[in-house]
Amino acid sequence: MIRWILGAWAVFEKDVKLELRSRYAINMILLFVLAALFLVAFSVGQEALTPRIESALLWIVIVFSAALGLGRSFVSEEERGTVLLLLLHTRGDMVYAGKLLFNFLFVLGLNLVAVVTFVVMLGIEVISVSLLLTTIVLGALGLAGATTMLAAIIARTATRGPLLPVLVFPMLIPLLLAVVTATREALPGGEGWAAAGNEMLTLIGFAGVVISASIVLFDYVWYD
Amino acid sequence: MTTLAKRIVQGGPAGVNVRRYRIIRNIVLVAVTAIAIGGFLIDVPRIQILEHTARNLYFHVPMWFTLMAAVTFSAYHSIRFLQTGNLVRDVRAREAALVGIVFGILGLLTGMVWARFTWYQGTNIWWNFDPKQTMAAVQLLIYGAYFVLRSAIEEPQKRGRIAAVYNLFALVTVPFLLFILPRQAPSLHPGADGNPAFSDFTAPEMRWVLYPAFIAFIGLFWVLYTQRVRFSLIKLRLHGDSE
């Protein structure tokens, strides 16, 4: 068990170090989120939006950026030719756990940046900050769980890059519905925690099921 | 026809039993014809706003059931492919998904037309975010992505494995829609929030057509599916790849 944690941590640490060295993904996603939010803010203009539309726009931007940013997590290993090294030194589930942890923190950071920018730019009032934060964390977990597995899948295809959104969007519909509803409850006109219990359960269940399914299926993708 | 192809068509371990196939095909042909005739000619009770559109029950509901059968078939063969690595399993998973898409689109269209000309008569609403309708649409999107993914991988064994993983992985998220969607929009289907249950309004004489229709449509699925599988198996044996 301790070996497993150390192995997964080593994969995670490697990804963090590589990312901090180049900062390619971080900068790209940061700019993508900011540019997309600017587009949304300018196309909306001074119009007052309902909380439902506000949360829908926010999460659509987040889902698109996550699908764009996480697509590289396994493709980069193929391109650098480091897949064989990982295969030799670690087991498949360690690689999955390390990548999942990295992607989770990545999406969490992305969500925080997106939400703060969105709230400031559109002048949104938040009535339940704790609910919004919980939604962001659980949403990031489900999003990272689904995209990590699919990133491993597209690294095996011939075209690699642009396939990820096509594969991931149909799966994310339950997640998207739950996070949008929960976010709406955290904005004015919502009822806060009292009305979001069902959505929280859905988010926990979604993340749990997606991650368990990934653990079962990952080896079939990872080993040739 | 080469002897090899003949052997595949006429049976063998991975092939299809042709005599059994012909018997079932003829039964299905008769049954589907009988359902079409019976569905339009046998009298139905006139319920408020449904009126004669109640006959759509004989076609819409079996199509939706057939999609579910196809999804189960496809997922089963995907699991078996991951266990055995036998390409015949991959062919079966793929063809079940393909024929399932056809029935799914038909079920979706019959449902949309039905809702438009009864509950939404006089409005312009075609898509009503009904939970079951959305679930079927999501499953069709998943199968669309499944085929796009298949076309992106060259090598048959790898393509089968990756596609099977995606098929199963995407499928586990669909049941969540059952939980989350009814809170978003009310359902038009029986048995959902306050709607009368299916048995409350279905007249006994309608079941004489409906229950055989389930068997007839799943039989039709089976006929199309085995045809496609035989065709793909011949390609698999002749070219070493079924696509």
The reply to whether residue B152 touches residue A157, judged by beta carbons under 8 angstroms, is yes
pLDDT given for residue A124 in this prediction: 84
Partner B contacted by A153 (CB < 8 A):
yes
pLDDT tens-place string over residues B22-58: 898 999 999 999 988 988 888 777 777 777 788 888 8
More confident position, A79 or A182: A182
How far apart (Å, rounded) are the C-alpha atoms in residues A25 and A29?
Answer: 6
More confident position, B131 or A116: A116
Q: How confident is the model at residue B13 (pLDDT cuts 50, 70, 90)?
A: very low
pLDDT given for residue B106 in this prediction: 93
Residue A82 has pLDDT above 70, yes or no: yes
Report which residue type is found at B124.
Answer: N
- Choose, out of B171, B172, B177, the residue to mutate when testing the contact with A (most A CBs < 10 Å): B172
The reply to whether residue A221 touches residue B82, judged by beta carbons under 8 angstroms, is no
Q: What percent of chain A has a predicted confidence (pLDDT) above 70?
A: 99
pLDDT given for residue B9 in this prediction: 54
Closest CA relative to residue B65, chosen from B201, B233, B219, B241: B219
Q: Which residues of A touch B243 (CB under 8 A)?
A: none
How far apart (Å, rounded) are the C-alpha atoms in residues A195 and A184?
Answer: 10
Extended beta strands in chain A, E state: none
CB B153 within 8 A of CB A190: no
Nearest CB to B153 within list A157, A174, A206: A157
Minimal Cα–Cα distance from A183 to chain B, Å? Answer: 14
Residue A69 has pLDDT above 50, yes or no: yes
Report which residue type is found at B224.
Answer: L
Mean pLDDT, residues A160-178: 88
Q: How confident is the model at residue B201 (pLDDT cuts 50, 70, 90)?
A: low
Q: Which residues of A touch B172 (CB under 8 A)?
A: 209-210, 213
Q: Residue A172's closest chain B neighbor by CA?
A: B173
SS3 A55: helix
Q: What percent of chain B has a predicted confidence (pLDDT) above 70?
A: 86
Minimal Cα–Cα distance from A167 to chain B, Å? Answer: 5
Q: Which residues contact B67 (CB under 8 A, 6 or more apart)?
A: B100, B103, B104, B107, B136, B139
pLDDT given for residue A161 in this prediction: 66
Partner B contacted by A155 (CB < 8 A):
no
Mean pLDDT, residues A62-73: 87
Q: Which residues of B touch A167 (CB under 8 A)?
A: 145, 148-149, 166, 170
Residue B1 has pLDDT above 50, yes or no: no
Taking the alpha carbons at both ends of chain B, their separation in whole angstroms is 20
> How many beta-carbon contacts under 8 Å exist across A and B?
95
Q: Domain extents for chain B? A: 16-190+197-239
**Domain total in chain A:** 1
pLDDT tens-place string over residues A2-59: 888 998 999 999 999 988 998 888 888 889 998 998 888 888 877 778 888 889 999 9
Q: How confident is the model at residue B8 (pLDDT cuts 50, 70, 90)?
A: low
Q: Which residues form the domain of A119?
A: 2-222
Partner B contacted by A147 (CB < 8 A):
no
Q: Residue B79's closest chain A neighbor by CA?
A: A217
Whole-number average pLDDT of chain B: 84
Q: Give this complex's ipTM.
A: 0.91
Structure tokens that stand for A131 in this block: 């609910």
The reply to whether residue B180 touches residue A202, judged by beta carbons under 8 angstroms, is yes
The reply to whether residue A170 touches residue B138, judged by beta carbons under 8 angstroms, is yes
How far apart (Å, rounded) are the C-alpha atoms in residues B183 and B192?
Answer: 11
Residue A110 has pLDDT above 60, yes or no: yes
pLDDT tens-place string over residues A130-165: 999 999 999 999 999 999 999 999 988 887 767 888
